[in-house]
Amino acid sequence: MGLIIWIGALVIPWLMVIVANRYRTCKLAFAWIGFISIWIAGSIAAVGIYEIVRDQTVFMTNIHAVFLNPLFLGSGAYVGMYVLYLSIRPLIENKMSS
């Protein structure tokens, strides 16, 4: 499973760059999905921390329960891929312009 995650982290951002260069509207879609994913992940983390502080159950196991939320995992995974995509895109654009 770890190998699949590593390969996905290498392949998916490159595919995003290829798709964004071929279809310009995808660049905007990737940005919107990134914004929404950051908002979802941040909101879930904030609510989780608020509930722990409110209930005064500040244990490491309680905060790690946030990581079991599939919505948090999915949005966090997209944010990771999107950040890698944003890192690769300028490299490709600079190479294409020269």
More confident position, 72 or 93: 72
pLDDT, residue 51, reads 87
CB-based burial label for 85 (10 Å; 0-12, 13-18, 19+):
buried
Q: What is the pLDDT of residues 17-46, one digit of tens each?
A: 999 999 989 999 999 999 999 999 999 999
Structural domains counted in the chain = 1
pLDDT tens profile 49-83 = 898 888 888 766 777 888 889 999 999 999 999 99
CB 89 within 8 A of CB 20: yes
The model carries a pTM of 0.85
Please state at what angle helix 70-97 crosses helix 24-55, rounded to 10 degrees: 140
Q: Quote the domain boundaries for residue 9.
A: 2-97
